Structure 1
Amino acid sequence: MLSIIGFALYLIPMHGMIIVGSGDLTRIGWYSNNRYGNHKPNLAFRPSLVTQSETLNRHYDVVIIGDSFSLDLEKSWPNYLAAKGLSVLVVSIADDPAKKSGTAVDVENQIMALIQSPAFRDTPPSVFVFQTIERFAKRRLVGDTQPCLDTRKNSEGNTEATPMSATLTEPLTLVYKSPPDFRIEEVNMPPVGRYDEQQLTYARDFLLKNIRKAFGWESGASAFRLHVPRFSSDRPETLLVVSSDLAKKDWNQQDVEVMECQLLRLQQAVQSNGKTLFVALPIPDKLSAYHDDLVDPAPPRGVVDLLTDPRLNRPPVEKALRSEIAAGEIDVYLPNDTHFGARGHALTAETVLRFIEERTRRVDASGMPSAPRSKQADNPGK
């Protein structure tokens, strides 16, 4: 009993995850936060600058429908857009992981309901972002009951005009106002020795689960070796990923084509009002982002960079993230979590904002317009 109590004090698993709001991989895979927790602090906006709701009831500069990469109200990348003076609404994507079918239809129905709402019709957002993590892209975009038909060629094989290439009929304008007061705080892992009342039970289960792992039991997370250190943890050359990242090995080219086609259909639906810019934002999962650094390259590569149709409004966030990782940036993704570290969030915001501003006219709070900024967008994360 004394040994378990001492081990519980050493592990700090529950306390660490609760304090910093991360550690889903150490929890799922029964790894220790002492070994895999980040030493480089994460960053949090206090208070959060974005609004979260399931409905649209007024004008917002940017509406984002997304998953947990967008829904962490204090740490996620939409805060960086709001810090530039844009009003931002985040809507949780309609995706129940327990459902075995119908998810792509559910997501499409959710988006259609939003764009058919009175607020979207009367005061449409300037930008509509659809964000999904890569490992769920197939279930959210490839439907079993509603095939996506790309109509770029007619029955004679000749190219036809297609509604999927809908463009805006009015100049897109973003109004930059002064954001409310906020501060950005560092969020650190707690020191070893902090005790939580749940840790005794956790320490017991931790030992039992790892004994089972030694005899072949597979948890929901996997560990891979990297050629170079990429994290601030005590195991900087170990990549922890959720096991569902490996499911991409069963995806084929047709799946990718249907994902792209469905994104184009959603883009057509959103931009049909001629006023709202649609932005597709599939985010590479952790395994894809660090794949070039794997000692064993056998795990499946990512598919985000295969979405290359020139009609699709898609910021190249995967290239920006991989470039930052290759340049030596630590904790672009958190070592003990599936999500971004501070730089990953900031870089995603920079990439999205640059993509939007290359296509818009910018107006400051005084009402004075400026020309589209092309490649000169600010770097909100620097």
Structure 2
Amino acid sequence: RTYAGLPVLGGDLIVHESASGASRSVDKATDADIEVTDTSAAIAPSGAERSALSAAQAAGDRKTGAEDAPRKVIWAATGKPVLAYETVVTGVRKDGTPSKLHVITDADSGRKLYEFQAVQNGTGTGQHNGKVTVGSVRSGSQWLLKDSARGGHRTYNLKHSWDETKKGSAFYDADNVWGNGKPTIAQTAAVDAHYGAAMTWDYYKKVLGRNGIKGNGKAAYSRVHFGDAYENAFWDDDCFCMTYGDGAGNKKPLTSLDVAGHEMSHGLTSATANLEYSGESGGLNEATSDIFGTAVEFYAKNAKDPGDYLIGEKIDINGDGTPLRYMDKPSKDGLSYDYWKSGVGNDDPHFTSGIANHFFYLLSEGS
């Protein structure tokens, strides 16, 4: 809804229609007429920005800055509609959560009229990561599993479809509390995948200074519950997404923290190094994902999955509690290489990755 070309905030008007398209009823957020005397502001946008920054800092936000120049709006949510500015202030909250505070300022007096936080977090309980914070947004009367603080990352439910061209169904929840830590409900794997994507995004940005996989601030998306008892996970450049199976008996989803970091990092390698997935470059490709997946695990400091030099130790893909790969001595799995030797490029990249994985371990811990 607009007035004189300006967005009207808080003045929603909803028309209910019958199946035939006939109007049945109208709901209005306000009974006041949407009009103002003048659309010329008495204070400059810079004044509104200063007021908004002060409001964010008063709320305890750090590293604050206006996302864009304040925009002129009509504020109709409280009482008589007035000309106002909306300023979006980004920053970091006291607990480290990203902030995107919308501050509404009276365009004539400079007085703050309202503020609301756009970055919302739910809580979830994953099978691998335990109770964690997950990014979510309001969608009508429900919550949508979408992380607006990290490029808009979303997690979808493939409902055991084998069709890799499908995006899947969005996850919605009534109370913004997701999963129960068990594979008996679909949300549990979604919590782990969503959290893993968030931790990987944060590691890239806060440690490496990279804004997303491609460095453009746009997130990939995650898909869980692919196939029936599918014991794998994969990155796909075509959909720019990570996909996770549910493992043996659909009870061991491959959504652990290091696997999530591993899969997203295949996207990073594709966007930057273009290492072909064959020969020695294939081993470097796979090792790069293992290395970044491990780095994400250490970065997250999650008590349920503390950092280590084991790959996939939580997913039990071997069925005997052993990890998928070892970085301290890759050959412990009976197939991987500890060091380079002639002809190594002829083997599977998952095994030749051991060379760079071992190198990373020695760099990190010493020989």
Given the two structures, how large is their TM-score scaled by the length of structure 2? 0.23
Structure 1 or 2: larger helix share?
1
Structure with more relative contact order (C-alpha pairs < 8 Å, separation 6 or more): 1
